[in-house]
Each structure stands twice: as C-alpha cells, then as structure tokens.
A and B are shown apart, each in its own frame.
Chain A
C-alpha cells in the first residue's frame, strides 16, 4: 500500500454514517416492494415462447416461429388431424376428378375475417396467385408450382387445375398455406405491407392479434366470430425468449406454459413440480449427406459400409436421451401410413462394414491410428479421407456429429470435423456441392413424396444420388392417388434405400414438449400442427 495515513480520515466518519446509508435503504425498499408483489398467472391466457419476431403472413414466413403464430391466425383450406391426415377447415368438402388433376373445394359458409369482412373464394384465389408469383416474396412457390390455374365459379367454390396428378396436393394445402385476405392489401405487393405483416394481421382463425411489441411479445385475443369450436382460452401470448435456458427458467417460474426443448435440457425440467413432459413424433429425418459427386463416396459398397459403421443407438440414447427413433430409410416413423415398419432398423455391424469396405478395395494398414488397426487405404496407398461438416450452435447436432466421427474413425476412415454457421454451410457448401459429408436434416410435409429430395437431378437432391429404379418409384408415388397402391410403392422405395443408401439416415427426432401440468386439450402432434387446434387448449 502506498504510504497510507488513515488516522486523520476516520475521525468524522461516525457522524456521516447514518446519512450515507440511504441508497442502501432505498434499494432494500425497492427489493421488498418488488418481491412481495405477486405475479398472478391469468388462468385463461396461454403463454408460448418464440425466439424471433414472427412475420404474420403465411405466404412470406420462412421460420418455425412464424409458422407457429400463423397457424393460430390463418387457417387453410384443410388441416392435419391427429394422424396428420387432412380434415376440413375453411373448405367443408372437396372432390377430385378421375384423372386426379382437377380439385374442387366447397368453402364453409358465413366465415368472417377478423375485421368483419366476409371470407370468399376470391381470397383463396388471391392467396394462391401470390404464392405462385415468386416476385411477391412467396416462399411456398415450390410447394404449389404444380398448379396450372385457379377458378372460382362462385363465391363459395374454388377449383384448382393441376399440370399433373399430384398425390400430396391435399396434404400441402394443410401444411403452410394459410389463406390471407385480398382486401387488406389494396393491390400493394404483400411483402411491402409492413403493418399487416408485423402488427395487424387479419385472418379467420380462433384468435386475432390485438397487440404487437417488437422484440417483446405478441398478444392475441379470442375471435368471437370464429367458425369452429368455441375456444376455451381467452388470450394467447407469444413471448420472445431467445435463449434456450431462459425458456426453461421461465417455464419453471410459471411464466411460460409450453416450450419445446433440446433433449439435453430435459433433465432440468423432468422432475420439476407442475411440469409435464411429452414427446411427439415429427416428420423429420436427420442424416449424414455423402456427396456422391466425389468418386470416394460414389460406390454403393462404400455407402452401405458406412451406413453399418455408425452406432445409432448410442447417439439416440446418449445424445438425444432417448427422444428419437431408430431409422429404416428416409421416410420417418411420424408417417405411420407410409413408414416401412416391416423392415429391420439399420443395424450397427462394424465387422460387416469392414468386409464391405474391403470388397470395395479399402484395406486397413498396419498400426497408426487408435482403435485396433490403421487407416483405410486403397491399392495405390491413398487414405480414405473425408471432412464432416455440421452447423454450429446446436449441442445435439454437434455431439451427434462427434459420435459419427468417432465411429467412422473406428473403421479406419481418416475423418475430421468442422463446424460452420448454418447459412454459410448451406449456401457455400451444401448447395454448390462442395463438401464430403454434412450432418443435416429435412423437415418434410406429412406426405411420403420425396421426389424433389431423392430423384435424379431434382432441386433438393444435394447429395447427387441417382438410382433409375428409385426415380421411377418416386415419380409413380407422387402421381398415385390410390392409398394401397401408393403404400406398396413407398415400401419398395424404402427397401431399395437399404441396398443403395442415398444418405446415412441417423435418426427421426421426437419433439420434446414441456408444458404446465394444468394445460389440457393439446393434441399429440408437433407443436406447429398442434397449434392449429388451439381452440381445444385450456387450463384445468
């Protein structure tokens, strides 16, 4: 200490002590007031979490958060029931022509928009015209590019004429295509209608927006004119809570009623009082994409070997805490009508994997790397080298990628891993085809049609898989409207995937939902589909 001379300065202190304590006293007062004021949980208000401000327009909305909100505000012509099959919504009934190309929908009578204007066939035509015009900012164009023209014979009838037979059409109508009101846009491009898209959307759903505070919350109140069952709740509030652990804390503190969780967060709420955990199967498959533009990964034998080399059970149990299902192929268990339950789940068999690799010309050298044996090498001594990419920031995917890495190394693959920001991963690596392997996933509509993902040369076929028999099966499947025949087609497709794996399917995740134990009436669906049934939600 620098030459301290404390003596002189302590003398006058006792006199001042009393006065100097006032800030502390004030602070204590504030704390006392704040802590005693109770925070009553309104019994008729449902509180849900979003991570981003939503876009309140189903035609423009790209992210899950916006889709969730829009499910409450904007019904479509049909909606998925508890088995994800289409049931009537704004359309009361429908018929398809024998050639499967013309679909005619009879609309519900007496439906009103949130502003009181009557709903009519013109709104449906307007919505789909916007969807089919990419310049409008539409992100649903590829779902509906099969539509040739839309006709409205009268104000309660809509007719779609398709370019080809398309079995998934009805399912897609209930997927993201909420109907928007023609009169609210006054001829302006829909992406410019900031007031509608951000603050005052007008839909026909059971709740309407009454208040939007950017970055904080979105408040919806019951729509007295709603055409369906009378909602049990009075209000729905979407709160913006960007941080996952803050969502868990708010749920435990009683400030949120329903959140979806990363499996890793599960232990934090599992035994908390007043919280119920539920799992819902969702139409997603997580997979490792092997780039088949690379000669290394083109041979069927190599891909079959790698498929057998990964211990999926360890990933499902260790990383996902059991909240996932083991895979058969690319059609997930969430589609019970189409999933090939009769086929065996992909086994974990490193001995067979090594045999297949040897057959393909890859033998293990002596010594070197850990785990019994050296690196795989081919006839001219080249190592089997690949880099596995994964998007960063999601602990489950990062850990799953690490586990895959460890398993691939165990059979002698010289594998390394790199984490990248999702946007860069997709745009700079996945889409241009500049990668060896990527851990990624598809979220699909609840329909088995995977033509655009796995048929030769299609836009979402990022792995460049090409199998002529698969091409013809996928093409037949999307045109087949008879359920029995269609099921046989997709069963054959899933069996074929075992002979020639397009991708290394890792697992089908289940959505983990943690909710207040007082909450009832939530259908056993992924939260996005469950929310279209929000009128059934209520508190005990």
Chain B
C-alpha cells in the first residue's frame, strides 16, 4: 500500500513538472514580440496577414489560446505546424528515430571507449597513461562541437573525399547498409567525443577510489585473484553511479544533437527544434518541449522506482 502511494505521488509530481514546463514555454513564446516568422514577410499585405492570424487562431486573446491548446492536448491534438501545416505531434515524432539512432550509437561508442580507458587509467593513478587520458578528456570537453564537426567535414569529405559530408544516405543507394554506416561515422563521433570524456573521468575516479577501499584491501589480503577482485569488488562499486550519470546526460545529449544534426544535415529532432525555434513555429516548439519533458520525467520516474526497489528506505521528496 505504501509502495503504491509512493509511486502514485511520484507520478502526480511528474505530471506537475510537465505542466509547469509547458505552461512556462507557452507563455514565453506567445508573449514574445515579433510573432511567428510566417507573418513577418515584409510583402504580406494586411489582408493576407489578418486571414493568416484568423486561420492560426492568433487573433484570439492569449488566455483563450492557452485554454484551447490545453483542451486539444487532452484530446491528443498538438495543433498544426505553422511552417509545414502538418500535425505538430506527428511531425516531431517522425524525427525521433533518427535522433535516437544517432544519440544511441554515440552513447554506446562513448561507453565502449570510456569504460575500458577509465578502468585502465583508474588502476594506474599518476601513470603516463592516466595523465594522457586526463589531458585528452579535458581537451575533448573543451572543443566547441560545431567547430569540431566542421573541421572533420572539411578534412574527411571536402579535401580527402573519404566520407560523406552530411545527410543520411547517398541518392540512389538508399538501402545500402555500408552507405548508411558511412553517413553515421562522423556525426556519431562528434556527438560521442565529449560524452566519452565525461564518462571516462567518472569511471577513472570511481575505479581509483574503489581500488583503495578497505574491502578491496581485505580481499587482496585473503589472497583472492586480481581479476576476481577487479570484477567483483572494484567494478561493481565504480560502475553503478555511471547509470545515473548516463541518465543525466540525456538532455545534454539532446542539445549536442541539435548542433551536430545542423552541421551534418541530419534530419533529427534536435534540428527540427532549432528550426522551429528560429522560425517561431509555436506548435512544433510546444510539441518538442512536451515530448522531451515527458521523456525526462519518465526516465527519472523509472530511476526512482529502481532506487526504491533496491533500497526501500529511500523516501525522496
């Protein structure tokens, strides 16, 4: 019973978070000067502008617009994109798989690189390899994403003709897996580099700390095999926090994806968000905000539940 109440309370709080986010976003964009960019064509005559405002419902008072938006939201209707005249929710959803592919591969790549590298360096604090990793990860965290991407495009595509400069596939080769991989390589790399650096630092310090914990020393005193100690006593403690860190990276990854997708002409949700914000496509901005907020709240909820199940003493909030 108490479990259920806890879950219920967290779910209600989650909904409240989503409501706060969407309401603030709505107010922020609708109170803005300038209005949607489709109405800002200097050639638009007053007749055309009035007709467009009427069609988009922008001639109504703000409070009415907000209530209409909320009512439609409850019906699952997020409105129509101003720029594309397509349903905003479906337009945003259609881009999710592309971003998920890019971000997912980047996440996997960074884990595949960061975990072994972090363990290696963490077991040899102060060694040359450790210092190299430290410096490398700082450098990786210090490079502006877009600049790194553009430099890679110039080198690999424009000058050396080794990899494509952007897009998802070559016209005429749409089904080819090799072509797909070629288009993924550079954007995944650009997206993965700072994330890998962040992970490597966590793993390294986790391993370095755990390696000197009393129970590890005790295990070694009992004469246990080094490999067993590493696997059973060090890694378990060092890698557990990584789960949380991976969760926290999600919004940052989404931001990084927006830049990477723009540089590499990748048709993902990040770029749609950038275009919608720049073009003031209110319904699409709202749909994306809602979607991202809901996803993050859901992830947090799942994490809370996991923590709760693992350690029922936890009573957060």
Interface residues of chain A, those whose CB is within 8 Å of chain B, are 1-6, 8-12, 16, 20, 23, 30-31, 33-35, 37, 39-40, 42, 45, 47, 52-53, 55, 60, 62, 134-135, 137-139, 141-142, 145, 191-192, 194, 197-198, 213-217, 219, 235, 237, 239-243, 245-246, 248-250, 252-255, 421-424, 426-428, 430-431, 440, 442, 459-460, 462
- In the assembled complex, B40 has its CB within 8 A of some CB on chain A: yes
Known A-B contacts A39-B170, A194-B85, A198-B85; the reply to A1 vs B116 at CB < 8 A is: no
Q: Are B164 and A240 in contact (CB under 8 A)?
A: no
Which residues from chain A contact B271 at a C-beta distance below 8 Å?
A: 215, 242
Q: Are A191 and B85 in contact (CB under 8 A)?
A: yes
Q: Are A53 and B84 in contact (CB under 8 A)?
A: yes
Q: Are A45 and B227 in contact (CB under 8 A)?
A: no
- In the assembled complex, B255 has its CB within 8 A of some CB on chain A: no
Which residues from chain B contact A12 at a C-beta distance below 8 Å?
A: 226-227
Q: Which of A139, A191, A194 contacts B55 (CB 8 A)?
A: A191
Q: Are A62 and B41 in contact (CB under 8 A)?
A: yes
In whole angstroms, what is the CA distance A242 to B123 when docked? 45
Q: Which of A37, A239, A249, A442 contacts B179 (CB 8 A)?
A: A37
Q: Are B52 and A137 in contact (CB under 8 A)?
A: yes
The 10 closest A-B pairs by CB, nearest first: A215-B267, A134-B51, A424-B34, A423-B40, A216-B267, A252-B158, A253-B157, A1-B126, A9-B123, A37-B178
- In the assembled complex, B296 has its CB within 8 A of some CB on chain A: no
Supplied contacts A243-B263, A248-B158, 8 more A-B pairs, CB within 8 Å: A8-B220, A52-B83, A142-B45, A142-B47, A214-B84, A252-B165, A423-B39, A442-B42
Q: Are B211 and A9 in contact (CB under 8 A)?
A: yes
User: C-beta contact mask, B39-73 vs A, less than 8 Å → 1, else 0?
Assistant: 11111111110111011000000000000000000
Q: Are A138 and B48 in contact (CB under 8 A)?
A: yes
Q: Are A423 and B267 in contact (CB under 8 A)?
A: no
Q: Are A30 and B87 in contact (CB under 8 A)?
A: no
Q: Are B55 and A135 in contact (CB under 8 A)?
A: yes
Q: Are B182 and A39 in contact (CB under 8 A)?
A: yes
Q: Are B42 and A242 in contact (CB under 8 A)?
A: no
User: C-beta contact mask, B177-191 vs A, less than 8 Å → 1, else 0?
Assistant: 011011001000000
Which residues from chain A contact B101 at a C-beta distance below 8 Å?
A: none
Nearest B residue (CB) for A422? B40
Q: Are B262 and A242 in contact (CB under 8 A)?
A: yes
Report how many residues on chain B are interfacial, defined by Cβ distance under 8 Å: 80
In whole angstroms, what is the CA distance A245 to B208 when docked? 44
Q: Are A239 and B45 in contact (CB under 8 A)?
A: no
Known A-B contacts A52-B275, A423-B35, A426-B41; the reply to A137 vs B55 at CB < 8 A is: yes
Which residues from chain B contact A4 at a C-beta distance below 8 Å?
A: 124-126
Q: Are A246 and B178 in contact (CB under 8 A)?
A: no
Known A-B contacts A216-B267, A250-B165, A462-B42; the reply to A423 vs B84 at CB < 8 A is: no
User: C-beta contact mask, B77-89 vs A, less than 8 Å → 1, else 0?
Assistant: 0000001111100
Q: Are B272 and A215 in contact (CB under 8 A)?
A: yes
Known A-B contacts A142-B45, A253-B165; the reply to A235 vs B85 at CB < 8 A is: no
- In the assembled complex, B172 has its CB within 8 A of some CB on chain A: yes
Q: Are A237 and B48 in contact (CB under 8 A)?
A: no
Q: Are B182 and A249 in contact (CB under 8 A)?
A: no
Known A-B contacts A8-B220, A135-B54; the reply to A23 vs B161 at CB < 8 A is: no
Q: Are A5 and B212 in contact (CB under 8 A)?
A: yes
In whole angstroms, what is the CA distance A442 to B43 when docked? 9
In whole angstroms, what is the CA distance A198 to B83 when docked? 11
Which residues from chain B contact A254 at a C-beta distance below 8 Å?
A: 161
Which residues from chain B contact A55 at a C-beta distance below 8 Å?
A: 83-85
Nearest B residue (CB) for A17? B120
Q: Are B47 and A216 in contact (CB under 8 A)?
A: no
Report B44 CB to chain A, min CB distance, Å. 7
- In the assembled complex, B154 has its CB within 8 A of some CB on chain A: yes
Q: Are A142 and B43 in contact (CB under 8 A)?
A: yes
Q: Are B162 and A141 in contact (CB under 8 A)?
A: no
Q: Are B164 and A30 in contact (CB under 8 A)?
A: no
Known A-B contacts A34-B178, A194-B87, A423-B40; the reply to A250 vs B54 at CB < 8 A is: no
In whole angstroms, what is the CA distance A33 to B181 when docked? 9
In whole angstroms, what is the CA distance A33 to B39 when docked? 49
Which residues from chain A contact B51 at a C-beta distance below 8 Å?
A: 134-135, 137
Nearest B residue (CB) for A195? B86
In whole angstroms, what is the CA distance A40 to B47 when docked? 50
Report A1 CB to chain B, min CB distance, Å. 4
Q: Are A45 and B172 in contact (CB under 8 A)?
A: yes
Which residues from chain A contact B116 at a C-beta distance below 8 Å?
A: 20, 23
Which residues from chain A contact B168 at a C-beta distance below 8 Å?
A: 213, 216
Which residues from chain B contact A47 at a C-beta distance below 8 Å?
A: 171
In whole angstroms, what is the CA distance A60 to B35 when docked? 19
Q: Are A39 and B164 in contact (CB under 8 A)?
A: yes
Can you show 30 pairs from A to B with CB atoms below 8 A apart? Answer: A4-B124, A8-B220, A9-B124, A9-B226, A10-B123, A10-B124, A23-B112, A31-B185, A37-B176, A62-B38, A134-B47, A137-B51, A137-B55, A194-B86, A198-B84, A215-B272, A241-B166, A242-B275, A246-B165, A246-B264, A249-B157, A250-B157, A250-B165, A250-B265, A253-B158, A253-B161, A254-B161, A422-B40, A424-B33, A442-B42
Q: Are B40 and A427 in contact (CB under 8 A)?
A: yes
Q: Are A142 and B48 in contact (CB under 8 A)?
A: yes
In whole angstroms, what is the CA distance A430 to B264 when docked? 35
Which residues from chain B contact A52 at a C-beta distance below 8 Å?
A: 83, 275, 279
Nearest B residue (CB) for A420? B34
Known A-B contacts A215-B95, A462-B42; the reply to A428 vs B34 at CB < 8 A is: yes
Known A-B contacts A9-B123, A459-B46, A460-B43; the reply to A35 vs B227 at CB < 8 A is: no
Which residues from chain A contact B220 at a C-beta distance below 8 Å?
A: 8
Which residues from chain A contact B250 at a C-beta distance below 8 Å?
A: none
User: C-beta contact mask, B117-138 vs A, less than 8 Å → 1, else 0?
Assistant: 0001001111100000000000
Q: Are A242 and B265 in contact (CB under 8 A)?
A: yes
The interface centre, meaning the residue of A40, A421, A460 with most chain B CB atoms within 10 A of its CB, is A421
